[in-house]
Structure 1
Amino acid sequence: MKWKANTLSLRSLLCMPLTLIMLSTSITSAVIPVKTAYGEAAVDEQQVRTARSYQATLSDWKRWAADHAYALQTIQPESWSSNGGSIGQDKFSDLDILIPLLADKRIVYLGENSHGVAEFNLVKTRLIQYMHQTLGFNIVAFESGLGDAALGQGRIKKTATPDTMRRSIFGVWWTEEAKPLFEYMKETHKSESPLRLTGFDIQVQSPLFQNANWIPSIKLKDRALQAEQEVHKWRMSKDQSGFRKAKPELIKVYEELLQAVTKNENALKMDYPDEPHIVKLMKRALEDRIRVIQEFNELCIQSNLLTEQGDYSGAQSMMEWRDRAMASNLAWLVTEVYPEENIIVWGHNGHISKAQSLISTMPKSMGELMPKELQQESYVMGLFMGEGQAAENTREPIQLNPIIPGSMEDILAAVGQPYTFMDLRYRENERGNSWMFERMIASYQVQMPMPLELRRHFDGVLLIKQAKMPTYLPDTHK
């Protein structure tokens, strides 16, 4: 699954913008008499322009979008061979517009304005297949626990797909629509270029030490499992003094686990044979736990206390701390663990945005906190939906409001296609696309329309016109 030979010739397109350069035609201007304080006077030749009405402007925007947007033929993942996962390139012809956009990028972010949309899981799976088969992207990084994803990847060959999903990613993506991605990843491990899974979140997702044969001490394993429960429990607490008393012992457990990793590297590698970086990743996950105990849980408790009084400033601090930690982990993965690999990032629009802090009261996001040099090597695609149904993180259904007239969704829906992609990054401001460059209403998060300078947040947007909630796998944790 290397870069195809016919794709190499397209590298020459990289410096070409996607917009066509329109040559202006000469317009004959008239000499306009102007009344001045000193009587009639003639001014230099000029063109008189009449301001458009809003409806005329919106019509211009919709016509321009219809002329410049790209339609995806399907969002269904492609069928793959049962011997390494290869897929015929003719299956992806509608996605070849991405080649000049992504061929020089190391990181491609795939967002979503809700975690509960079936079509987002499907289209992202197909996009990942394409980038893996055609553009040489071999790593998928989920907005899920760094340690959890490492353990899921570590046993991916012999573990049933639903169990890999439950071990590695948050429950919001335990869906029938996301399952093909994990089946495809598993199949690619028979090839020379497997698609590997990683994570970058710091939240306690599930215990890292269940079935951990690499820990020889039963006593230490029991203490580790207990510590995992306590770290999660304290995050929900309002007892700051109680937590501060418990912190030293919790930190001590994870420091002992760090020592155990060093002493039992071979056993850890044998326990998780499908993750070649398991030692490095486990150490990072344990260091993250210590940071969570030292800093994040303090912010969570403080936020819980303030929220009780109607003050949400603590939540903002907590959210930004998490995004800073995720940015740190993702940058580390890109530079230290996979320095030669291209990486696809799967996360919420609110985490991948390049400029979330432009929105009033919103904290800085992971995307804008990434090192500048990595931002320059990235392409950020926000995913949005039109109408239909989505789901809360609790799996409860949400009936979507009608599309707001004049919103970004309204402009792209007018293209008349079910799946519409628009590049923003390589556009020049011209009559018909000024909506990309000025404040425009868009549902940045589900049911939360906000005024956004879209081009500041995303390099491209993909609209799914009609959405439905996912079909969830059983939650065995209940």
Structure 2
Amino acid sequence: MFRNYVSGALIAVMWVISPLSVASTNLAEVANEFAANVAQHQYVALGEQSHGAANVFNFKREAVKALHKNHNFTVLALESGLYDVDWLYREFVKNGASIARSAPGNIFYMYANSTEIKPLFTYIEQSHRTDRPLKLVGFDSQLTGGISKQFLVKELDSLLPPFNAQFSKTQWQAVAAVLQSVIEMKSTKPKNTDAFFELFAQLEAHALGMKTRPDFWQRILVGLKAQAQRQWQLSDIRSHEMGNNLVWQANQHQGQKMVVWAHIYHLQKERVDGTQNAGQVMFAQYPSAYHVTHFTGGKGQYIDFVSMKTRPVSALATNSVEFAANKLDCEICVLDIRTLLRKKPSSEVLLFNYETSVPLKDIAHKWDSLVHFANVTPSKQQ
């Protein structure tokens, strides 16, 4: 059972879970309680410090299932390419192609190859045998999955309106070659970027005449433009466009409740470095409906998704939230950020890769709740 708890003046807890083993089947019960407490929000964002923590993945997986089964959440938006996930999901619905089997090479690799997340893909497939399926969508503006590399430019070519004097086949072929190299991450900055983006703007205008999902393809084109600008080191608005993709998904699923799964840097209501991110876009659009949860831990290990090496959680400062949470003697603590803020703590909290800390007073307004694990465990990648 959950209970209210206050430990001195250091930390106040909205929900505290009694000690339990992370491997225990009670993990699902913990996630169910968490889901019940956040279910009044239409958009529940589940962040992560690293893409490589097993028990964080386990908790998030069970929370998604609970939100779907018990609280009518019908959309899961995953940090993976907008086109790749759309194509993969369409193939599943139309032809029965397994999401779990299709995920590797197409969905972000830390998710697609995770032992902890694969059962979620199976759950999504099984949900389509019920009267309330859980839909899987992507929202990343970066399009680098195998599906994008193989099909995106070809499908766009097949759906574009007939070429004309305003936008010719020769112009399209020139743009298409660059876009394919951008998707394959092999592009080099053109000598005249202004000329390229003028041509790209002509493509966007031409694509407005598409008969099939013109709004979807406009989002794809915006993502490709942002991806090119990032590769060419002109600007980095990837996360901002991820937010626009999320708002677009919300509009596509009007009235439906959505779980959003990604790195906390994308989901929190404002980035630490001031860059406009996805969470800031969502919060501006849905200020009372958007709930953000951050995950942290007191000790343990995780997988670095760049090097794929196992790394330790940094030693905790004695004034950290995690240090105080460890004293609560629970395997998982769910903390209410508003209560923490009222205490005006001078403590720090881990933000990124379980090693970078920031003062809670500077960051806490960007989250709504915090899930603390006494021991973080590394994800198992297949």
Please, what TM-score do these two structures have when normalized by structure 1? Answer: 0.65
- 8 Å CA contact 1:76, 1:123 repeated in 2: no
- Please list every run of 5 or more consecutive structure 2 residues that lacks an aligned counterpart in the other structure: 160-168
Question: How high is the sequence identity, in percent, across the aligned residues?
Answer: 18
Cα deviation, 1:268-315, whole Å, max 9, x if unaligned, reads xxxxxxxxxxx4xxx445323432454553354235xxxxxxxxxxxx
Q: 1:164 to 1:425 in 2, by over 3 A?
A: farther
User: Which residue in the other structure is 1:164 paired with?
Assistant: 102
Which residue of 1, 5, 8 maps to 1:60? Answer: 8
1:252 and 1:374, CA in 2 relative to 1: closer, same or farther beyond 3 A?
same
Corresponding residue for residue 68 of structure 2:
132
Question: Match of 2:180, SS?
Answer: helix
1:392 counterpart letter in structure 2 = D
The equivalent of 2:368 in structure 1 is 459
Is residue 77–residue 180 contact of structure 1 (8 Å, CA) maintained in 2? no
User: Quick check: 1:341 aligned with 2:256?
Assistant: yes
The separation in 1 between residues aligned to 2:197 and 2:24, in whole angstroms, is: 46
Q: 1:56-455 alignment to 2 at 5 Å?
A: 60-61=8-9, 65=12, 69-71=16-18, 93-95=29-31, 97-98=33-34, 101-156=37-92, 158-166=96-104, 168-174=106-112, 175-206=114-145, 207-208=147-148, 210=150, 226-232=177-183, 237=188, 239-241=189-191, 243-244=193-194, 247=197, 262=211, 265=212, 279=213, 283-294=214-225, 296-302=227-233, 318=236, 321-334=237-250, 336-356=251-271, 359=272, 361-372=273-284, 374-394=286-306, 395-425=308-338, 429=342, 434=343, 437-446=344-353, 447-453=355-361, 454-455=363-364
Contact residue 145 and residue 202 of structure 1 kept, 8 A? yes
Report the Cα distance in structure 1 between the residues aligned to 2:130 and 2:288, rounded to whole angstroms. Answer: 31
Tell which has more relative contact order, 1 or 2 (C-alpha 8 A, sep 6+): 2
Structure 1 residues 298, 115: closer, same or farther in 2, change over 3 A?
A: same
Measured after TM superposition, the shift of residue 180 of structure 1 is 0.7
Closer/same/farther in 2, CA of residues 471 and 105 from structure 1, 3 Å limit? same
Q: CA RMSD in A?
A: 3.7
Whether contact under 8 Å (1:75, 1:126) holds in the other structure is: no
Contact 1:144–1:199 (CA<8 Å) still a contact in 2? Answer: yes
What's the offset of the Cα at 1:74?
A: 6.4
| Aligned mates of 2:185, 2:200 — CA distance in 1 | 11
CA, structure 1 residues 383+302, in 2 after alignment: closer, same or farther (shift >3 Å)?
same
Q: What is the deviation of 1:375? A: 2.3
Q: TM-score, normalised by structure 2?
A: 0.80
Contact 1:161–1:179 at 8 Å: present in 2 too?
no
Counterpart-to-counterpart distance in 2, 1:194 and 1:77: 27
Task: Name the structure 2 match of 1:8.
Answer: none
Separation in 2, partners of 1:421, 1:299: 37
Cα offset, 1:228, TM superposition? 4.4
The whole-number CA distance in structure 2 between the counterparts of 1:355 and 1:457 is 6
User: Paired residues, what number?
Assistant: 361
